[in-house]
Amino acid sequence: MLFDVYITKFTNLGLNILLALLIFYIGRKIIKGVTGLVQKSFAKTSVDISVAKFITSLIRYAMYAVLIMVIASQVGINTASFITVIGSASVAIGLAVQGSLSNFAGGVLILILKPFSVGDYIVGCSTEGTVEMIDLFYTVLLTGDNRKVHIPNGSLANSTIINVTNQKERRLDLTVGIGYRSDLKQAKRVLETILSGREKVLSNRGITVFVSNLGESSVEIGARVWVASGDYWTEKWAILEEIKERFDAEGIEIPFNQLDVHLDSGE
């Protein structure tokens, strides 16, 4: 009689294990099919590839978690206590790695909101550079002097981010000081000539030259032009060099701080 009971239990256990294996096989096929459909759907849209991969992975892991719970229930494991243990472990792990979770949440926000993309030049978290990679936990920047900077996404998502190259065109602001004895109209005319003669200056956006400030030792002349974002720095450096050369040739003084000492020879 006892032997028959054990035979029945082993038979039921064997059938449950076979059924669990069948569920696992079918579940894997379903998960693969669903994730494949999701990937194809993203491929037809303009969703960023990083966001697409993240969402696809999230769906895959969630479906595998459900599949494991179904299989555990099939072989007789108490899923309620299983969920309780997982929940308790998740809380403990969450407290231990809360900084990493903050970076993960920041990475999700960056991938979804897309304040910048790979290849953009950004300024944030007291550093700047070209975005080389956006991971779930870190964003990697390549600085102008070829250094890699890994910024935690949590810090980056909570800071002010300046996307320098997001737009195709960028305004170039210049300020140059001339002496009070120099001819103001001549200086403005020379500046306008320099800027209008630059090939990379976008003349269709207009050129503005104006007096920006009357300083203690100089008259500050401002200039505003537009250039392609990729030409910003090289054009700025070239224009400043040409201004110095042309002002010297025209006899326009660019003042600098100096100290005059007068000796009193009185008795």
Q: Is-above-0.75 flag for pTM?
A: no
CA distance 172 to 175: 10
Kindly state the percentage of the chain with pLDDT values over 70: 78
Task: Please tell me which residue, 207 or 98, carries the higher pLDDT value.
Answer: 207
DSSP label at 197? T
Nearest Cα residue to 243 out of 202, 212, 209 = 209
For residue 96, the model assigns a pLDDT of 46
- Rounded mean pLDDT, 237-242: 96
| C-beta of residue 235 within 8 angstroms of C-beta of residue 198 | yes
CA distance 48 to 117: 9
Token pair 């899923």 is found at 79
Q: How many residues does the chain have?
A: 267
Quick: pLDDT tens for 148-180.
999 998 889 888 999 988 889 999 999 999 999
Task: Please tell me which residue, 183 or 37, carries the higher pLDDT value.
Answer: 183
For residue 47, the model assigns a pLDDT of 63
For residue 214, the model assigns a pLDDT of 93
Rg (CA), the chain: 34
For residue 10, the model assigns a pLDDT of 64
For residue 259, the model assigns a pLDDT of 60
Cβ neighbours of residue 209 closer than 8 Å, sequence gap 6 or more: 188, 191, 192, 195, 221, 222, 223
Structure-block tokens of residue 73: 């229930």
